[in-house]
């Protein structure tokens, strides 16, 4: 089935796109902030993806692709950085609209520092395994950048969206890695799998979502849509 990856992309974005006009969420009204945030994030991830593809850290099975490439990346992989962030940001805004209780915000400082210190430890232990090392270094960098910019504001909302997004993430990524549509060079990861999904993918996905939210919320604040945040507080 040489267009499976394309179908997965379309499946990922179909319902979030159709439901973007929901009367309460009215997600389409945020496109002016979302699309630039996705473009910046997507460009950075495409550069990363191209580099790893070139050096064989991961690759793609042509049996499931339509055959169009940007550099060494299939078109479907580029579309991944459109469809997945869009769907994840839709989840984020739906939860902001429909879930009023701050379930995870009280625990945000603990969760944040566990992620920072835990990822740094993994990066050191598996130094030289490029997928593990780079992902686990970038998570602390991005979290610290978020703390510098916003403090702990809204991190509970991010962690809730991240947990909810893991359900479609496991389904879609499970298909991609089981066939496989995407293969991984185990010399550059720890070899730990969630089913057929490399454990590093969970942190890679966290980076993709948090980076999009970081630029998205910055753009909303610049436009005056979101009130100024309190001064950062790291304790």
User: CB neighbours (10 Å) of residue 234?
Assistant: 11
Q: Report residue 227's pLDDT band, with 50, 70 and 90 as the boundaries.
A: low
- Tally of residues, the chain: 235
- The 10s digit of each residue's pLDDT in 117-175 is 999 999 999 999 999 999 999 999 999 999 999 999 999 999 999 999 999 999 999 99
Q: What's CA 208's distance to the chain center, in Å? A: 2
Which residue in the block uniquely carries the two structure tokens 């510098």?
A: 148
pLDDT at 234: 45
- The 10s digit of each residue's pLDDT in 32-50 is 999 999 999 999 999 999 9
Which helix H or strand E contains 184, and what residues bound it? Answer: strand 182-184
Q: What residue ranges in 26-177 does DSSP mark as E strands?
A: 58-60, 69-70, 73-74
């Amino acid at each position: 089935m040489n267009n499976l990856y394309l179908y997965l992309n379309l499946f990922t974005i179909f319902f979030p796109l159709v439901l973007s006009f929901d009367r309460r969420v009215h997600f389409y009204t945020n496109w002016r902030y979302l699309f630039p945030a996705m473009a910046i994030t997507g460009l950075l991830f495409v550069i990363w993806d191209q580099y790893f593809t070139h050096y064989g850290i991961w690759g793609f099975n042509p049996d499931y692709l339509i055959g169009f490439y940007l550099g060494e990346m299939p078109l479907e992989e580029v579309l991944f950085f459109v469809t997945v962030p869009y769907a994840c940001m839709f989840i984020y805004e739906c939860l902001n609209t429909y879930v009023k209780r701050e379930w995870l915000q009280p625990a945000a400082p603990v969760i944040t520092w566990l992620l920072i210190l835990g990822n740094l430890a993994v990066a050191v232990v598996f130094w030289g395994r490029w997928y593990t090392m780079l992902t686990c270094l970038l998570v602390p960098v991005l979290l610290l950048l978020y703390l510098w910019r916003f403090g702990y504001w809204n991190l509970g909302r991010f962690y809730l969206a991240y947990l909810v997004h893991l359900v479609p993430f496991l389904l879609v990524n499970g298909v991609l890695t089981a066939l496989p549509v995407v293969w991984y060079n185990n010399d550059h990861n720890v070899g730990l799998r969630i089913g057929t999904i490399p454990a590093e993918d969970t942190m890679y996905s966290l980076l993709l979502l948090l980076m999009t939210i970081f630029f998205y919320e910055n753009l909303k604040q610049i436009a005056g849509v979101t009130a100024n945040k309190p001064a950062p507080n790291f304790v």
